[in-house]
Structure 1
Amino acid sequence: MVITGIGVRAPGGSGTKAFWDLLTAGRTATRRISFFDPAPFRSQVAGEVDFRPEDEGLTPREIRRMDRATQFAVACAREAVADSGLEFGGVDPYRIGVSLGSAVASATSLENEYLVMSDRGRQWRVDPGYLSPHMFDYLSPGVMPAEIAWVAGAEGPVTMVSDGCTSGLDAVGHAVQLIREGGADVMVAGAADTPISPIVLACFDAIKATTTRNDDPAHASRPFDASRDGFVLAEGAAVFVLEEYATARARGARIYAEITGYATRCNAYHMTGLKRDGREMAEAIRVALDEARIDPTRIDYVNAHGSGTKQNDRHETAAFKRSLGDHAHRVPISSIKSMVGHSLGAIGSLEIAACALAIRDNVVPPTANLHDPDAECDLDYVPLTAREQRVDTVLTVGSGFGGFQSAMVLRAPEGAAA
């Protein structure tokens, strides 16, 4: 299975090129929250996307109907479809599918509607007279992939994947499996999340998962650094066009990367807690490598989950050592969350995009803000500056609340120039 189209909306710029330029320059796009007054909250910083739906070609009716996350997904899908060069009108619509991931779906619009109906929480009994006619669109996560299906003309399998922070990885993994088993010939797959809202911010405040480095937003996300104190909430989206390798080659498509292995596991242990030995993530990595039929020493770059919480970064370091053996000490590893924050269900797809672009350009993006590595995070986490090197095979991983652990292997397409 190969990626032939990419669409990205992320903090720091609009489109795939702006996203990759930011990462390779090692710039950060995290800032003080501007969508609402964050002063009452413990964590007041985020990775916001400068997104104008009018500039994306969305009509006033579409803007009114769609939640912000759905708008992101549609914009990315249009970019990915155009980027692929595939004439979707010439493909049997029953052979085109959609697999979209999201952790909190239309939480922003649901919160806004509650504020209207309850007069900003002043009324215990909400007034249904103020109910939006589009409330179903906000309530049902399945509306998001349905909107993508209309963009692509997809009448095959259309699916929503929502399992927290691994949703973006798992949605693409599900799409790959559907093509492999013969359920579709083309899949439009990815993820979108726009969780920067008071209720979501308050939820993470309550469990102290997010950073309190409010005085320095640009340097607040510090994966693997000894001074890290939590992740930076963010929003974003990435969508891909996936096809079989032979079909893509036959039509002369540009192939960004092959997806050769994928696996997901759950620790069945704790909603937010992680075991220090990293066993569950290591198992997902092992199975993904087995499916890709490669030895750990073939991995040229690892895109880490790297959220910037104390327990995740140590858990992940242990998982790399357990699954990659001695190679874990030689392979470059980095976290793009240091630059664009943690967009929950969307980040896994954004990281797949970063991996595909790393393969295309033979560049490893850095871990920004990594000045004083945690002694327990003693691997090569590519501090501060991007690294030019040969990148043929990449491992990307994700970890999510609920105990979800996922891994995916991507490699350069056959015949790629050396």
Structure 2
Amino acid sequence: MTAPAAAAVTGLGVVAPGGVGVPAFWDLLTSGRTATRTITAFDPAPFRSRVAAECDFDPSAAGLSPADAARLDRAAQFAVAAAREALADAGIAPGADPERTAVSIGSAVGCTTSLEREYVRVSGGGRHWEVDHAYAVPHLYDFHVPSTFAREVAWTAGAEGPAAVVSTGCTSGLDAVAHGLALIREGEADVVVAGATDAPISPITAACFDAIRATTPSDGDPARASRPFDRTRDGFVLAEGAAVLVLESTAHAARRGARVLAHVSGAANRCNAFHMTGLRPDGREMSAAIDDALAQARTAPEDIDYVNAHGSGTKQNDRHETAAVKRSLGHHAHAVPVSSIKSMVGHSLGAIGSIELAACVLAMRDDVVPPTANLTEPDPECDLDYVPLTARDQRVDTVLSVGSGFGGFQTAVVLTRPERRPS
């Protein structure tokens, strides 16, 4: 049976904590530095969790006009900046082939920052039930509909093909790229601008995660707050950011002589239909997604050179994910390096899956596995090779990236080198 078509990755754009732009982002990861710090976006004193991974983002430096910076939510600004970098990296001019160019953007929480800001404004700081819309910005409607993300990226790319926002919680970034792969496989587009964005660092988000104790209460040393797979881990670090990948059909990329960074060869998702935030310890649903993605990519478990983990730093997620990798990769699970970049750039909810895919592409490009920072006390229940503290030089031809989201979503994506080198 013929393998399903792959999509060529020809461009990357990243807005991440500690590194706006691909070079700065990759330098942060390979050096093992962390971008987590005490929250500066608002006064975190009343909250249980007071740390986050914030982006030092300047809209004007990213090429946004004052008018665009005023009308666009922070997450939309991230998406536009990342899309511009990705298109330039791919060597594609906006509007080059509009009807054959599509957009697929993921987000978990939409325009949270702007919605909260405007509610506070029109309600007198929450004191009034009846609010006066006259005090709101004139483009308030755009903040209510996350589809504006796809619209803005489509305008940026000059794309007139299919455009969609994918919102599946913390797997949105992976699922948006998977949707882009599907559009290419179905022949709906030759080029897909695919990725995800979220800017959730706001009081309402902090309060929500405080309520379910999902985020870390650690604030003594913010740089060490995110500790995936460590025995002392106590929750994830909230973050923000965006990443965009330019996907092309392999035929289209070949026709224009594009540099191909990687292939998206398989992508699959599952839902556990079990619990809003809970996970079964056996990892069965994530394992099912991994098995499907491997089958699409015609890849055996022992061919995986690196697993980019969801690695959120919560007790149950890290155990669940470890079990899933063992279930799907068998004996090879103990031989393959596994790491979580959330230890360095935090958990940007829907955006993180695309940010992690960008890291996977760069790992293949440079044959470097990024580390899991802050992993100093291994948890006996998490007994794989998590690449603690320091990046590792290693040949990387095939990567598995996995994600897990509230609601029971589980996603796996397989990336392969365009021409796998012989063993």
> TM-score, normalised to structure 1's length?
0.98
Runs of 4+ in structure 1 displaced over 4 angstroms? Answer: 415-418
How many residue pairs align between the two structures? 417
Unaligned runs of 5+ in 1: none
Residue of structure 2 equivalent to 1:71: 77
Residue 94 of structure 1, CA deviation: 1.4
1:347-386 equivalences in 2 (<5 Å): 347-386=352-391
**What residue is the counterpart of 2:159 in the other structure?**
154
Q: 1:29 maps to which residue?
A: 35
Identify the match of residue 11 of structure 1 among 3, 6, 17: 17
C-alpha deviations, 1:322-361, integer Å up to 9, x for none?
0110000100000000000000000000000000000000
Give the direction of change, closer, same or farther, for the CA distance of 1:320–1:136 in structure 2 (3 Å limit): same
The whole-number CA distance in structure 1 between the counterparts of 2:358 and 2:245 is 8
Q: 2:280 aligns with which of 275, 300, 315?
A: 275
**Distance across 2 between alignment mates of 1:259 and 1:172:** 9
1:145 aligns with 2:128: no
For 1:102-141, list aligned pairs within 5 A: 102-141=107-146
Q: What's the counterpart of residue 4 of structure 2?
A: none
Secondary structure in structure 2 of the residue aligned to 1:4: strand
> Aligned-pair distance for 1:183?
0.7
| Rounded Cα–Cα distance in structure 2 between residues aligned with 1:44 and 1:261 | 38
- 1:127-206 counterparts in 2 under 5 A? 127-206=132-211
Per-residue deviation, 1:252: 2.0
SS at match of 1:210: coil
Tell me what 2:314 maps to: 309
Displacement, 1:215? Answer: 1.0
For residues 384-410 of structure 1, the C-alpha deviation after alignment (integer angstroms, 9 at most, x for no partner) is 000001000000000000000000000
Q: What secondary structure is seen at the aligned counterpart in 2 of 1:113?
A: helix
CA distance in 2 between counterparts of 1:136 and 1:17 reads 35
Measured in 1, the distance between the counterparts of 2:235 and 2:57 equals: 26
Do structure 1's residue 228 and structure 2's residue 233 form an aligned pair?
yes
Amino acid at match of 2:200: P
CA contact (8 A) 2:96 2:158 kept: no
| Distance change in 2, residues 1:270/1:131 (3 Å) | same
1 CA distance for matches of 2:109 and 2:202? Answer: 11
Post-superposition CA distance 1:304-327 (Å, at most 9, x none): 000000000000000011011000
Distance 1:101 1:400 in 2: 13
- CA distance in structure 2 between the aligned counterparts of 1:251 and 1:309, rounded to whole angstroms: 45
Pairwise CA distance, 1:146: 0.3
Matches within 5 A, 1:310-325: 310-325=315-330
Residue identity over aligned pairs, in percent, reads 68
Instruction: In structure 2, give the amino acid aligned to 1:40.
Output: P
CA gap of 1:146–1:89, structure 2 versus 1, over 3 A, is: closer
| RMSD value, Cα | 1.1
Distance 1:120 1:76 in 2: 33
The CA distance in 2 between the partners of 1:396 and 1:261, in whole Å, is 10
